[in-house]
């Protein structure tokens, strides 16, 4: 973004002296300051609740990587957990959750404002995704990759409890989004009459509603971002991905340019979204794609030049701003190292 140039005028006699003030640099993707490589690894989840509080998770060495943002810098939080995170959700300074897997075992953590502790994850299946809202509502989805079937859990009274959701037969859940206790979303696929269809469901606090998304398709709803009461953005399909918009009344779908496939998305803070597309195996810069809702146009952007091949894992808007943070790993010399980039 740019600020209008400001000038200070001083009138001395008949002469006018104008002193220009330095113009703010235009917004772009940059390396996030204060990120130091300690061990090989990568980050695959990032969540912010404000400009002064955020968490990132991944793996560094054989340990769970836990990074905390305090508004000025990232700090690593020491821990003895050794699993790969599947989901990270943050509701506030004293409420955060992580789910993940280690071989065939499922794991769940809860943060109470002072420490992370392990809590039981009831299953069946392994954690797939996790989301939470500022009001403390947290929902997790799990899937059994061997026997089929899904489970949806809500956080209640300090533990995960099963939520009986009227899922269609042969459902495969991919993602969950929570904006409030009366604004919960589920995405994935289901099959009916031997045909696969995209699944998008919404909870309004009283009942679940299945929303109609296009025609017959085997493409899953893979990621959802709720940006208002009962409205949301979503990605449909891993390859030749579409951007789906639920306006509250109908679905608007747009194919990503260049037949791109995309991993995840987040709000841009201005009514549109940032999307993290898959990149080339030899890319030296992270590719980003932005949909400007106000102007109805796509915009391509690149991250900073890297000494290696970046692979980003997650992207997140900092609430109340147009700043966006992405996390992932940098492949260099046959190793991968955590990286963080920011749009500002």
- What confidence tens digit (pLDDT) does each residue in 166-217 have? 999 899 999 999 999 999 999 999 988 778 899 999 999 999 999 988 765 6
Q: Is residue 222 part of a domain?
A: yes
> Do 199 and 188 form a contact (C-beta atoms < 8 A)?
yes
Q: Is residue 262 part of a domain?
A: yes
Domains contained in the chain, number: 1
What pLDDT does 21 receive?
Answer: 53
Q: Is residue 7 part of a domain?
A: no
Q: Is residue 3 part of a domain?
A: no
The dihedral formed by the CA atoms of 145, 142, 230 and 326, expressed in degrees to the nearest 10? -90
Q: Is residue 15 part of a domain?
A: no
Residue 209: its H or E element: strand 208-210
Q: Residue 198 is part of which domain span?
A: 29-343
Q: Is residue 8 part of a domain?
A: no
Global pTM value: 0.90
Distance in angstroms (rounded) separating the CA atoms of residues 344 and 340: 13
DSSP reduced 3-state for 258: helix
- Three-state SS for 76-96 is ECCCCCCCEEEEEEEEECCEE
Q: Is residue 22 part of a domain?
A: no
Q: Is residue 2 part of a domain?
A: no
DSSP reduced 3-state for 259: helix
Residues of the chain with pLDDT under 50: 1-18
Phi, psi of 24 (to 5 degrees): -65, 145
Phi, psi of 258 (to 5 degrees): 65, 20
CATH number for the domain harbouring residue 292:
2.130.10.10
Distance in angstroms (rounded) separating the CA atoms of residues 16 and 130: 61
> Do 116 and 79 form a contact (C-beta atoms < 8 A)?
yes
> Do 210 and 166 form a contact (C-beta atoms < 8 A)?
no
What pLDDT does 214 receive?
Answer: 77
């Amino acid at each position: 973004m740019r600020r209008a140039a400001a000038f200070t005028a001083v009138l001395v006699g008949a002469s006018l002296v104008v002193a220009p003030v330095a113009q703010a640099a235009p917004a772009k993707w940059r390396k996030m300051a204060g990120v130091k490589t300690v061990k090989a690894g990568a980050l695959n989840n990032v969540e912010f609740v404000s400009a002064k509080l955020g968490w990132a998770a991944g793996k560094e060495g054989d340990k769970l990587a836990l990074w905390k943002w305090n508004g000025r810098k990232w700090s690593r939080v020491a821990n003895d957990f050794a699993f790969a995170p599947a989901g990270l959700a943050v509701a506030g300074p004293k409420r955060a959750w992580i789910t993940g897997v280690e071989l065939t075992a499922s794991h769940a953590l809860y943060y109470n404002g002072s420490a992370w502790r392990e809590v039981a994850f009831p299953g069946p299946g392994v954690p797939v995704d996790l989301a939470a809202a500022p009001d403390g509502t947290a929902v997790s989805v799990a899937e059994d990759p061997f026997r089929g079937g899904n489970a949806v859990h809500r956080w209640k009274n300090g533990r995960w409890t099963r939520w009986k959701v009227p899922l269609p037969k042969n459902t495969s859940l991919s993602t969950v989004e929570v904006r409030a206790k009366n604004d919960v979303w589920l995405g994935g696929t289901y099959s009916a009459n031997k045909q696969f269809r995209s699944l998008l469901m919404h909870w309004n606090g009283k009942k679940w509603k299945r929303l109609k998304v296009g025609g017959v398709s085997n493409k899953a709803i893979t990621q959802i971002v709720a940006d208002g009461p009962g409205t949301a953005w979503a990605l449909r399909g891993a390859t030749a991905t579409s951007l789906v918009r639920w306006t509250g009344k109908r679905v608007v779908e747009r194919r990503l340019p260049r037949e791109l496939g995309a991993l995840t998305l987040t709000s841009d803070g201005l009514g549109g979204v940032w999307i993290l597309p898959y990149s080339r195996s030899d890319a030296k810069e992270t590719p980003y794609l932005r949909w400007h809702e106000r102007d109805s146009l796509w915009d391509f952007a690149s991250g900073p030049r890297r000494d290696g091949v970046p692979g980003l894992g997650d992207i997140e808007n900092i609430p109340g701003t147009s700043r966006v943070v992405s996390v992932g790993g940098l492949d260099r010399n046959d190793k991968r190292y955590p990286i963080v980039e920011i749009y500002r």
